[in-house]
Each structure stands twice: as C-alpha cells, then as structure tokens.
Chain A
Amino acid sequence: MLFIKSIIVAAFFSLLFAGSSIAAPADEAFVQQKANEALAILRDDSLDPAAKTARFADYVDNVTDVPRVARFVLGKYARGADPQKLASFTEVFREYASGVYESQLGNFGGETLKVLGSQDRKPGDSVVTSVISGGKIEEPIKVNWRIRTRNGQQTVLDVQIFGIWLALQQRNEITSVIANHGGDIEAAIDVLREKVAKGNYGEKDAKAASH
C-alpha cells in the first residue's frame, strides 16, 4: 500500500513539475557573489581609469570562459578553423569583450544587485535572473546571466541586459563580418583589433558625448 502511495505521490510531483524548470541555487549564489565583486571594482574610486580597466579585464577572465565564448561568437566558422587564427581571435576577443562589459556596466557602481531566481536549462546550463536597483537609476533593471558548470566550476557564458544577450549580439555581428569577407576569420580579427585600439565600446562613450 505504501509502495502504491509513493508511486502516486511521485507521479503527482512529476506532473506538477513537468515543463517547469528547476532552480539552480548554487548558480544564484555564484551570480550574487560575482556581481558584488564587479560592482566593487566599478565603484572603487581609488583606481585610476587604466587600473580599473586592467582590474576589470582580470575579473572578466576569471568569471567567463573566454575561449568558449569566442568559439560561440564565431558560430559555424569556429568548426574546423585554423588553430592559429582561432588563438589570435580569442586573444583580441578577450580584450574586446572585457571592454564591452566594462562599458555596459560602467554606469553602475552605487547600485545593488539582487538575485530573484533561476531556471535550469539542462544539467550544467542555467539562467539566473537578477535586478539592479538603487543608486542613480530610476527604474530597476533586469539582468539575466547564463551560467555554465563543468566539473564544479561555474563560468558566465552570456549576460542579458535591456533585453539583449551580449554574446548573442556579438555572434550575429561577427559572423556577418566574416560572411561579408568570404568566410575569413581574419576579417573579424582586424575589425576587433581596430575597435580595441580605438577603445570605443558604446554605452559610456555615447553618454559622455551627448551630455
């Protein structure tokens, strides 16, 4: 009788959770901790801009799996790519991605981030939802984090802010550049090198220019 009851209870819960995603509490804690670290770097006024950029680049290296994200943004062009070109691309992409993330998050500092919840996409692949509020911003801003876990090590694969996944955005642009140059990764390397040399990543620069 107890056995039948257990089956009924199990069936009930499997129905209850069918189609819904399970939370990933370890990933939520990871995001909370890493976001606090990022905000601490951004609000550290003892650092000059160059030192802040260097510190942020180290931070990005530490929390994201740059080679994996670099392969992702290359899309179909990553498969079978020349290893030397792939290494060159990863190197310049590291600098570019760090600049973009610093630029996007550079306007924050006095704000706080609160994790709201998470969804498990599949084992080792989850999305953590958070909200940034307080400080200078009038309305809370929702930020989603795509987290990958392998061998107990968590890394950030992508961040969605203002409704846009940044790595996905970069993939659509980079693959377009490569497609326009006959599938040559070198074209994307050149464009990113130029971008990094100019140090122009958008958000912070545009706001500075228009006010």
Chain B
Amino acid sequence: MMRMVFRTFTLISAAFAASACGTTSSAHQDDPLYVWNKGVFAFNKAADKVVVEPVARTYHNIVPKPGRDGVRNALGNLRSPVILGNDLLQGKFGRASKTLARFGINSTFGIVGLFDVAKRAGIKGHTEDMGQTLAVWGISSGPYVMLPILGPSNFRDTTGFILDIGLEPLTYMRFNGRNAILTGRFGVNGVSVREVNLDTIEALRNASIDEYASLKSAYEQLRANAISDGKVNIDDLPDYDEYEDEK
C-alpha cells in the first residue's frame, strides 16, 4: 500500500514539475505552481460561469428541495465504502462503526439511501477520504495545485483522489454500462455539490479581496479542519507577534 501511495505521489509530482517548469514566482513562494494555478483558475471560473453554475441553478429551480436532498443523500450513501475504508485506515474504529451503521440503515430503511434515516436516529454522517488518511499518516500536503474542472487540491489530495478509486466497489465490478454509471454519478455529484454551495460560493466571491487567494486559503483551512475532525490544533495556529517590528 505504502509503495503504491509513494508511486502515485511521485508520478503526480513529476507531472506537475514538468508542466510548471519555470513558473515559480518569487512573490508567491508558498505557491510554487502559481502561474499554472492562476491559468487553470481562470479556465475553471469561465467553465463555471458558462456551464456548471447555470446547470446547478436550473437543477435548483426545477427539482424541489426534498428531491435534491434525496439525490445528495443517495450519493453520500454510495460513498460509504470509501469513507469506511478511510475510517479504518486511520484507525478510527468508532467512526467506522457509525459509517457502517449508517450505510446499513440508510440502504434499507432509507430506501437505497434516499432518506437519511440514520441521522434522525442520532447517527450523524461524516466524510473521510484518502487525502485525509495520508495526512493522518504524516504525509505532507505538497504544493497547492488547481485541477481543471475538479478545482483546488494539493499533491497529497490529488494522490488521495486517485487512490480512493481503489476503495470504490464499482471499480471491481464488471458489467455492461458500468462506465456510464460511473461517469453519470460523477456528473450528478458535481452538479449536486455545486447546487448546495450556490450561496457559499457567491458569498466567498462577494467577500473576497483576491478571489484566487481566497479560494486557496479557504481550501487549505477547510482541509486542515477536516483532517483534525474539526478540532483546533493550537500548535498549528500562527503567532500574532511574528511580524512585529523588533524593539
């Protein structure tokens, strides 16, 4: 497993190192792929404006809220095996048992996951992915990278995104139409995620002083928060006196 992680991480690093060769800006030392990232950010923003957001808004206007909630619940339920695998790989057995219980309850009483019955029974859901697992294992994030269509990421999370495919049961099933199901699910999930974040993304854009930096910062903070399961690690907080003039 570790060898596979290392290989994937190395491949991704090499691919980006080649594509971003000579793009490091001295003004953005914490963002070595700045030029590449800014270009992809502009592309993603245009794609969002022309395709993704209009589709998400149409979906919001046509499908009533209970329907949208059902789709989101079902997609979340289908993700349970990946979450369970990562719960276990992180040694979080309590959370793993909750994921398993939720999957069992929602797949049956929740009619293939359309209704989140488990939440009403007091078993709240959570997310985990291989990017978070790698972080828990002590692997550093690597440079921030903006992926076409997929959006903000870093080397660790991109590696995790690929490795999560290995935890997905559909990967190992062989039947006609499997690829169409996988592609359709990816597309519906994208629209569903964009729809639920219509307000948040608009708020982020309205509030931001520098939209690119705002997204990068929000992504990094939210990922750190997800890795720590919402707990504040006080040692990771910056010092407020760091840039005081020396007296």
Give A residues with C-beta under 8 Å from B: 21, 68, 71-72, 74-80, 100, 103, 119, 121, 125, 127, 129, 142, 144, 146, 148, 157, 160, 163-165, 168-170, 172-177, 179-180, 182-183, 188, 191-192, 195, 200-203, 205-207, 209-210
Stretch at the interface among B13-21, B176-184, B209-217: B209-217
Residues from chain A with a CB closer than 8 A to the CB of B28 are 176, 179
Flag if B243 contacts A202 (CB, 8 Å): no
Q: Which residues of B contact A207 (CB under 8 A)?
A: 199, 203
* A-B contact sample (4 more), CB < 8 A, given A160-B232, A176-B213, A206-B200: A21-B234, A127-B234, A173-B214, A206-B202
Q: Is the CB of A172 within 8 A of B243?
A: no
Q: Contact: B237 with A100, CB < 8 Å?
A: no
A144–B232 CB distance below 8 A: yes
Could you say which of A144, A169, A209 contacts B202, with CB atoms under 8 Å apart? Answer: A209
**Alpha-carbon distance A202/B214, docked complex (angstroms):** 12
CB pair A121 B27 closer than 8 Å: no
- Give complex CA distance A125, B244 in Å: 16
Complexed CA–CA distance, A172 and B235 (Å): 19
Contacts A74-B243, A142-B230 given; indicate if A172 touches B213 (C-beta within 8 A): yes
Bound-state CA distance A176–B214 (Å) is: 9
Contact of A202 among B198, B204, B222, B225 (CB under 8 A): B204
Interface residue ranges, B against A (CB under 8 Å)? 27-28, 198-200, 202-204, 206-210, 212-214, 216-218, 221-222, 225-226, 230, 232, 234-235, 237-238, 240, 242-245
Contact partner of B217 (CB less than 8 A), chosen from A169, A179, A201, A209, is A169
| Contacting residues, chain A, for B206 (C-beta < 8 A) | 200-202, 205-206
Question: Do residues B209 and A174 form an inter-chain contact, with CB atoms below 8 A?
Answer: yes
Cα separation A163 to B218 with both chains bound (whole Å) = 9
Given known contacts A119-B234, A163-B230, is B244 in contact with A100 (CB within 8 Å)?
Answer: no
Nearest 3 CB-CB pairings of A with B: A202-B207, A176-B213, A163-B225
> Are A164 and B243 closer than 8 Å at their CB atoms?
no
Given A168-B238, A200-B206, the answer on whether A210 and B232 have CB atoms closer than 8 Å is: no
